[in-house]
Structure 1
């Protein structure tokens, strides 16, 4: 039988359960089953990046982006508030939104 390795206590690291985090009332749960299904549906229906298509480029979308951010009052679970974007376009849009 193998020896059990003792765990090392690190008092400077806050102990928490896996996937546990502090949440505020206005946080959107990107790990919720409802969101994951909606995201998959969006990327299945619109597999190309919307911003790249406007520039006559063909790029595979990897992010389902909220057109109006949830923190600014956008509906988090509405297909009308979603667009498919590639990571590069999503990162630049998110930077502009802030």
Structure 2
């Protein structure tokens, strides 16, 4: 988070909000690299929860 202290998803919408969570862009369960900088991003809690819920729904549909 030192490299990017603000939520990248909020910034896309023109909102400046401090990030709280270092998120895996591609989840580890989906084959994402655990510690690769290219697979990490800073998100606020709201954006992280939204992204995680969406990814879980997609995974459930693909496995169901």
Provide the TM-score with structure 2 as the length reference. 0.86
Greater CA radius of gyration, 1 or 2? 1
The residue number in structure 2 matching 1:72 is: 30
Is 1:58 matched up with 2:20?
A: no
Q: Tell me, which stretches of 5 or more residues in structure 2 are unaligned?
A: 57-64
Greater fraction helix: 2
Greater fraction strand: 2
Give the total of aligned pairs: 56
CA distance in 2, matches of 1:82, 1:97: 16
Q: Which has the higher contact order (CA 8 A, sep 6+)?
A: 2
Q: Tell me, which stretches of 5 or more residues in structure 1 are unaligned?
A: 1-42
Query: Considering only aligned residues, what root-mean-square deviation do their CA atoms show, in Å?
Result: 0.4
CA distance in 2, matches of 1:84, 1:65: 6
Provide the TM-score with structure 1 as the length reference. 0.57
Deviation at 1:63, TM superposition (A): 0.3
